[in-house]
Amino acid sequence: MGLFMSKTISVDDAVDIIKTHIKPLNNHQTVILPNALGMTLAEDIISPINVPVYQNSAMDGYAFNSNDIPEVSCELDNIGTSFAGTPFSGELIDGQCIRIMTGAKMPVHADTVIEQEKVVVKGSTIEISSGIKKGQNVRNIGEDIAKKSVVLSTGQKLGAAQMGVLASLGLASLKIKRPVRVAIFSSGDEIRSIGESLEGSQIYDSNRYTINGMLKDLGVDVIDMGVIPDNQQAITDALVLGASEADMIITSGGVSVGDADYIKQCLNDLGKIHFSKLHLKPGRPLTFGQINKAHFFGLPGNPVAVMVTFMYFVRPAIKILLGHKDLSLFDLQVPCQTSLRKLPGRTEIQRGVLERDFDSGLVVKTTGKQGSGVLSSMSKGNCFIYLDHDSETLQSGDYVTVHPFKMF
């Protein structure tokens, strides 16, 4: 499709280009609630009921009418008990109360609950004192969720809390976005899969397993195409197959300027390249493009650069496909205990250890050597230290932006 002339662009420009070219998937499926954990809603959830359905007590105590709130103290006749699931069936009149448990239905003509610790029990009566507020310790109908209100919105990822909310509405099934399908392969004649023996200058393929793990953390359906030899026809065939079966193709390695790096050439012949070089360390040779309807990410070959580019570019792209509204990473501003050398003009991302200091609170330090091939530094660290395009050398004690790994 013609020669692609690339220029090096900033991280912010790259993210903007990704947002421009990737749109949410329209496909959805219906699943039963227990199977929806970790999936993304394809519709707004409108509450079919009020929550609570009935007025109930927020704690164990005694229910009565606020007309009986005394200026100093008074006694009330205890005429029964209301349990959750077994309500009191009678009605109260002035001067009466009932024993009530948390979640139990409020009786007719009762509108206030006093905690059991604040009453004096005298046989079949209780003594209450002043300072009680009308309506205290009572959960009203629809107080938590009003009938016909939007409870959860399209694009919401379902965690344990959301599952509980949906169950409280009695919803047995719901429409969710189908999982994003991603085809992955590594390229390189020096690459061997685990379980194979190494000869000469061959190395094991760690990148594909790293990418696979990060994708599965996002709930993606992974199509693992293995290791593809460094020849143009094999890579062309792999890209065509991946584009026919997946929403996205991710490769690692083979996107630089070496004589045997065919991926960009094949991508240029088959589809489009939107960008291929970034002002970023590590992760400069990142390629983003498209083959038919499939989006393409060619990640660098260096293991750390793979994790960096996945977190800052692939992750938001997948979130867009799923219709997520918030693409931002969880970030913290904390003092760095390590001096960091940097010149303005590119974004730099270092591996760090975020920890709690007894005197200073949260602090961060680097994991040490920051070469993009030092994969062990990723397992030692728990965050990225993000130094933006315009930042300069930082001294120990200066504040930096930190993105914890656990917030992928």
Domains of the chain (ranges, CATH numbers): 8-27+178-321 (3.40.980.10), 29-51+146-177 (3.90.105.10), 56-139 (2.170.190.11), 332-407 (2.40.340.10)
Find the mean pLDDT for residues 144-149. Answer: 96
Query: Could you give the CA distance from residue 220 to residue 295 in angstroms, rounded to a whole number?
Result: 14
Q: How confident is the model at residue 202 (pLDDT cuts 50, 70, 90)?
A: low
Which residue in this structure is represented by tokens 């079949």? 124
Q: For residue range 254-263, list pLDDT tens digits in order.
A: 655 554 468 8
What is the pLDDT averaged over residues 142-171?
Answer: 95
Q: What is the mean pLDDT of the chain?
A: 91
Q: Which residues contact 199 (CB under 8 A, 6 or more apart)?
A: none
Instruction: Check residue 405 and give its pLDDT.
Output: 87
- Return the amino acid letter for 214: M
Q: What is the band of 188 on the pLDDT scale with cuts at 50, 70, 90?
A: confident
Angle between helix 232-245 and 263-270 (nearest 10): 50
Task: Please name which of 317, 44, 318, 329 lies closest in space to residue 178, comparing C-alpha atoms.
Answer: 318
Q: What was the pLDDT predicted at 260?
A: 47
Fill in the amino acid letter for 401: T
Helix (H), strand (E) at residue 286:
none
Of 312, 402, 21, 218, nearest to 299 (Cα)? 312
The whole-number pLDDT of residue 201 equals 73
What is this structure's pTM?
0.84
Identify the pLDDT of residue 255. 59
Looking at per-residue pLDDT, the higher value among 297 and 406 belongs to 297
Rounded CA separation 355/32 (Å): 40
* pLDDT band at residue 391 under the 50/70/90 scheme: very high
pLDDT at 363 over 80: yes
Tell which wins on pLDDT, 287 or 405. Answer: 287
In order, the DSSP letters of 12-78 are HHHHHHHHHH------EEEEEGGG-TT-BBSS-EE-SS-BSSS-EESSSEEEE-GGG--SSEEEEEE
- Point out the least confidently predicted range of 236-240, 278-282, 341-345, 373-377: 373-377
Query: How much is the average pLDDT of 1-14?
Result: 78
What is the pLDDT at residue 373?
52
How high is the pLDDT of residue 352? Answer: 93
User: What Rg value do the Cα atoms of the chain yield, rounded?
Assistant: 30
- What pLDDT is stored for residue 155 in this prediction? 92
Q: Could you read off the pLDDT of 59-110 as tens digits, one per residue?
A: 999 999 999 999 999 999 999 999 999 999 999 999 999 999 999 999 999 9
